Structure 1
Amino acid sequence: MEQRPYILAETNWKNVKSQDYKVAILPWGATEAHNYHLPYATDNYQAEYVSAESAGKAWAKGAKTIVLPIIPFGVNTGQLDVDLCMNMNPSTQYAILKDVVDVLSRHKVNKLLILNGHGGNNFKQMIRELHIEYPDVFVCTLDWWRSFDPHTVFDEPGDHAGELETSAVMHIRPDLVLPLSEAGDGAERKFKIRGLKEGWVTAQRQWTSVTKDTGVGNPALATKEKGEKYLKMVTDEIGDFLVELAAADLDNMYGD
């Protein structure tokens, strides 16, 4: 396998100490059930893949990026009754994120992208708080599946372990995907209260009351080819963003 100098876990100090990294990428996932047919590490495999592919495309264009090892646990407070769904509270996430930013600040890597792979994670308020203590580090976050309209590829993308995620994992780790005949249909039960049902009021969902198979979204139309096509679009888009971010002057970020 060809060495990827933009993946911290794969490179070495001889290389690292000679680089002037402009952007660090921190993939952040979760370890949770994904219907019957996808692995518990689905969010991690996707976040790692998108981070590496996007960073590689940016690196090829001259952007000095470095992908940090993934944080494999996410906020799963609504899935505590699902066997071995691993929960990390937001306060714990903030403590970890603060320590990561502290290291980056010490070593003058002053731009961080949190590449999120799990819908339950939300870093916006953490970024606001980090800005007070580490104003020298520009921290931003994105949900990788929102970077390119999924409806350009998928008929019914789904929310969790549906057509989008199933197709993506079919491309990334096909060896870990069970036949679709073994998957549940991902049927979702919604809140009865109108504001919650329509989405303009938010609350924690109790996952086992929402879905019988832990999926939300039908994976029946998923294919490896759809996953490959969508992931290329996503990583092209994020790769271009990383090129812009690497070149950005933090003292001159705003314009007309």
Structure 2
Amino acid sequence: MAHTKVQMSHLTASTMREVAARNPVILLPLGSFEDQGPHMPMGDYLLADAMAERIAQQATQNGLETYVAPVLPFGGADYFGYMPGGIALSQTTFQAVLTDMLTGLLRHGLTRLIILNGHGGNCTMIHDVTHALWRQNNVVIPSFYLWRVAASLMPQIMGAEVAGRSGGHGANPLTSIGMFLKPELVENTKIPTQSHEKTAWGLKVLDFGTVDLNGVPVSIPLEGDSTATQGVGRGNPALCNAEDGKILTQKLVDYGVQLVAHVMQQSA
């Protein structure tokens, strides 16, 4: 694939004016800066940005002019305030920042926008912001939650049994994708062995902020140091590998390009 300049931050002002006049698709990658496990870089926004670059490159090669807005590296706060050095935005601040980012693009007629989300703590405010902008401007801004989509694809790629054992925060799909996209940043010697079952508030932990009350899930306001082990949730990161990461990455690129094409078609 021939490399073209798709990062908006790499364009000159004069080029950006020419680009804006054509109203191309703009991808807005969102991520977080938090505990991703002892083996993974804290900046998972790097992976969201890398994925956006690949989608934009492929879409542009397919004749669908697409660019990548500067990545927002800080996500909405949820379970990771315990992490030294971690930076998150309060939900109200994230809402305001995302609104300003999208409004700044819409102001100049850039209406073909796609959010590439890489953080679960962003989901509620993404909906609230895009819903408000739809009501104000009659513009649909879809959100493509990268890692949720990747998790849904895991059973067909690695089998249901491995997908079930390896899926979770600090494990699949992000660790496998990181091993493929940013292998120099993954410290394989620090990959932990699978942890034993955890309890919090006297109950078995199901996931971040969720415990089991006799078979019924109950949400509790505890952070990840109480419900995970070194940032690793349910999955076993020792089962992750770059080969699966490559397949997951290509699948995400394929679906991302399909979404770009659909946005183009809907706004033609």
TM over 0.5: yes
Q: Show the counterpart of 2:266.
A: 248
Please state which structure has a larger fraction of its residues in helix: 2
What is the aligned counterpart of 1:23 among 16, 20, 25? 25
Report if the CA contact (8 A) 2:35-2:80 is conserved: no
Amino acid at match of 1:103: G
Query: Structure 1 unaligned runs (5+)?
Result: 251-256
Question: Match for 1:150: what amino acid?
Answer: M
The answer for the alignment partner of 1:5 in structure 2 is 5
2:202 paired residue number: none
User: CA 1:83 to 1:235, structure 2 compared with 1: closer, same or farther past 3 Å?
Assistant: same
Correspondence for 1:173: 182
Offset from partner CA, 1:172-197 (integer Å, 9 cap, x none): 11111112x42223546310335763
What amino acid is the match of 2:102?
Answer: V
Q: Offset of 1:239 from its aligned partner?
A: 0.9
Question: Which runs of structure 2 are paired with 1:152-171 in the superposition (5 Å)?
Answer: 152-154=156-158, 155-156=162-163, 157-171=166-180
Whether the 8 Å CA contact 1:186–1:211 is kept in 2: the answer is no
How far apart are the structure 2 equivalents of 1:140 and 1:90? 20
Aligned position for 1:183: 191
Give, in angstroms, the shift of residue 77 of structure 1: 3.1
Aligned residues: 243
Alignment of 1:108-127 (within 5 A): 108-122=109-123, 123-127=126-130
- Equivalent-residue separation in structure 1 for 2:28 and 2:65 (angstroms): 15
Matching residue within 209, 218, 231 for 2:226? 209
Provide the rounded CA distance (Å) in 1 between the counterparts of 2:174 and 2:263.
27
| 1:223-245: CA deviation from partner (whole Å, max 9, x where unpaired) | 11111111011101111210121
* Aligned residue among 135, 138, 141 for 1:139: 141
Q: Over residues 85-111 of structure 1, what are the superposed CA-to-partner deviations in whole Å (9 max), with x where a residue is unaligned?
A: 212112111111111222222211112
Q: Deviations over 1:82-135 (max 9, x none)?
A: 2122121121111111112222222111122111011221111222222233x1
Distance in 2 separating the partners of 1:46 and 1:72: 10
Give CA-to-partner distance per residue, 1:161-181, whole Å, 9 cap, x none. 2032111111111111112x4
Residue identity opposite 1:193 in structure 2 = L
Q: Aligned partners of 1:64, 1:194: CA distance in 2, in Å? A: 53
What is residue 88 of structure 2 aligned with on the other side? Answer: 87
CA RMSD of aligned residues (A): 2.2
**1:184 is paired with a residue of what secondary structure?**
coil
Separation in structure 2 between the aligned mates of residue 235 and residue 113 of structure 1, nearest angstrom = 14
Name the % identity.
24
Provide TM-score, normalisation by structure 2: 0.82
Contact kept in structure 2, 1:171 and 1:225, CA below 8 Å:
yes
1:87, 1:185 → 2: CA distance?
A: 28
SS in structure 2 opposite 1:18?
helix
Tell me, what secondary structure is at the counterpart of 1:139? Answer: coil
Helix, strand or coil at the partner of 1:120: helix
Question: Secondary structure in 2 aligned to 1:163?
Answer: coil
Matched residue of 2:254: which SS? helix
Q: Which runs of 4+ in 1 moved over 3 A?
A: 185-189, 201-205
Aligned pairs for 1:92-107 within 5 A: 92-107=93-108
Aligned equivalents of 1:55, 1:17: Cα separation in 2: 19
Once the 2 structures are TM-superposed, how far is the Cα of residue 221 of structure 1 from its aligned partner? 1.6
The C-alpha deviation readout for 1:37-75, integer Å capped at 9, x for no partner, is 10111x212211111111111111221222100000012
Give the TM-score normalised by the residue count of structure 1.
0.86
Code of the residue aligned with 1:171 in structure 2: it is F
One-letter code of the match for 1:239? Answer: V
